[in-house]
Amino acid sequence: MGSAIIGLGNIRGPRPQGRRERGLFFSTNEPTWAASMTKQRSGIHLIAQMANVSIGTVDRALHGRGGIKESTRQRILQVARQIGYTPNLAARALSVAKASARVGVCIPREIHFFYDQLWSGVRDEARRVGQLGLQFLNRPVHALGEGDTAVFKELVQCGVDGIILTAGNPKALTPLIDEAEANGIRVVCVSTDAPESRRSSIVCVEPSLNGSLAGELMGKLVPRASKVAVVAGMLTAEDHRKKTDGFSEAFPRHCTGGKIAGIIEGHEDEDESFQKTFDLLRRVPNLAGLYVNTVNCLPVCRALGARGLAGKVKLITTDLFAEMSPYFQKGTITASIYQQPHRQGQIAVRVMADNLTNKIHFPPAVHLSPGVVMSSNLHLFREMRSADSKLDEPGLKSRLTL
């Protein structure tokens, strides 16, 4: 949908100058006054006319954003080359830099294996859009669902124009999100949703599909009439509940006579997850498979090892981090469902920036496709490559092997 580039003249709340706020991790620099906006705009209008598209579509093509067909993008770029047009990012930033928009970010710190990746995606994209006059205030909570309502209220009081939120407490957050949206503060949920709210968008791997994929895979790995179980984080979280439902519905369809022997909540706590898994393995000695629908899989791996069942019980986990690699290699983890956390963070920032700077409408939802990680393709994922690059630092290998 087309949208003209406009300034942010309706920014709410005070804009403190000359001081570093707690958690403020990006602020825009003063733009360089370059080529005249008249010349640049006439170039964009000419491209739109020649390519028979809207100005907003031209802007998306020139700046590498999604939302348009690749054939359309190539046609626009070809027209731009024909007229010798080069996008002037400094001039583009000028159109929004007279008053900076501020975006609050509320993402849990724990479990850091997942949320560090999500946060890195937010940070990387925030650097890219910083030239557009956007500032980001980081207000993390300790763990999913802990204190997010208080942080949300704080961000609203700070006068932000948008909030990127991992909604661990959807029922309590829903009225707060609705009030914020009514006051013009745009809310984008990332990773887990508040679906009953009027939030502007959600960026995630669709959780029911995630669970269904795990259920189908498990059904093809274990024998007929097998018993399996689910280790969830917290079923009050939309993401965890829908994954559990998706798995529970799909598994019996792909394993004749298969049954769900138990569903336990680990509440993203390592000790609790270990003890509950350890007890489950005692209560159901013939358990054939386990599905961990959060990134908190290490205590489950340890519980399997403590019971002497590592490699015997099929274990499907969620996402990927360096510490999982040995368990893949030993066969403790059979497969993992990858949710692209870094990409989720990037897209959440991008759709927010597109709306605040260019008034491009939010997509109602951005659902990424889940991937399947196994030992054979483990090395292809960014989490493993990041771990390998760290190991290449001088002296680090020797320190790790001492």
Residues 267-291: tens digit of each pLDDT: 999 999 999 999 999 999 999 999 9
Q: Is the pLDDT of residue 92 over 90?
A: no
Strand, coil or helix: what is 379? Answer: helix
pLDDT of residue 358: 86
E-strand ranges in 319-365 read 335-338
Q: pLDDT-based confidence at 103, cuts 50/70/90?
A: very high
Find where tokens 């054979």 sit.
Answer: 376
Q: Is the pLDDT of residue 99 over 80?
A: no
Q: What per-residue string of b and e applies to 340-362 under the rule 16 or more CB within 10 Å gives b?
A: bbbbbbbbbbbbbbbbbbbebeb
Q: Is the pLDDT of residue 399 over 90?
A: no
Per-residue pLDDT tens digits for 329-370: 999 999 999 999 999 999 999 999 999 988 899 999 999 999
Q: Is the pLDDT of residue 13 over 60?
A: no
Distance in angstroms (rounded) separating the CA atoms of residues 62 and 82 = 14
Distance in angstroms (rounded) separating the CA atoms of residues 7 and 185 = 16
Q: Is the pLDDT of residue 302 over 50?
A: yes
Q: Is the pLDDT of residue 251 over 70?
A: yes
In this structure, are residues 200 and 186 in contact, taking their beta carbons and an 8 Å threshold? yes
In terms of Cα–Cα distance, which of 91, 93, 103, 95 is closest to 7? 95
**For residues 254-272, average pLDDT:** 96
pLDDT of residue 395: 45
CA distances from 106 to 33, 119, 148, 155, 342 (A): 34, 10, 7, 9, 15
Which residue did the predictor score with more confidence, 264 or 388?
264
Which residue did the predictor score with more confidence, 94 or 4?
94
Q: Is the pLDDT of residue 18 over 90?
A: no
Across all residues in the chain, what is the average pLDDT? 83
pLDDT of residue 42: 57
Which residue did the predictor score with more confidence, 177 or 145?
177
In terms of Cα–Cα distance, which of 42, 34, 36, 54 is closest to 83? 42
Q: pLDDT-based confidence at 383, cuts 50/70/90?
A: confident
pLDDT of residue 122: 96
pLDDT of residue 74: 85
**For residues 306-334, average pLDDT:** 96
pLDDT of residue 62: 79
pLDDT of residue 277: 98
Q: pLDDT-based confidence at 64, cuts 50/70/90?
A: low
Per-residue pLDDT tens digits for 109-161: 998 989 999 999 999 999 988 878 899 999 999 999 899 999 999 999 999 99
Q: How far does the chain reach from its first CA to its final CA, in angstroms?
A: 58
Q: What percent of the chain has pLDDT over 90?
A: 64
Burial of 147 (0-12, 13-18, 19+ CB in 10 A): middle
Say what the alpha-carbon torsion angle 304, 307, 312, 316 is, to the nearest 10 degrees.
Answer: -20
Q: pLDDT-based confidence at 88, cuts 50/70/90?
A: low
Strand, coil or helix: what is 125? Answer: helix
E-strand ranges in 304-373 read 314-318, 335-338, 366-368, 371-373
The model's pTM is: 0.70
- CA 77 to chain CA centroid, Å, is 30
Q: Choose from 36-50, 81-95, 211-225, 385-399 the range with maximum mean pLDDT.
A: 211-225
In terms of Cα–Cα distance, which of 50, 40, 41, 39 is closest to 77? 50
In this structure, are residues 359 and 398 in contact, taking their beta carbons and an 8 Å threshold? no
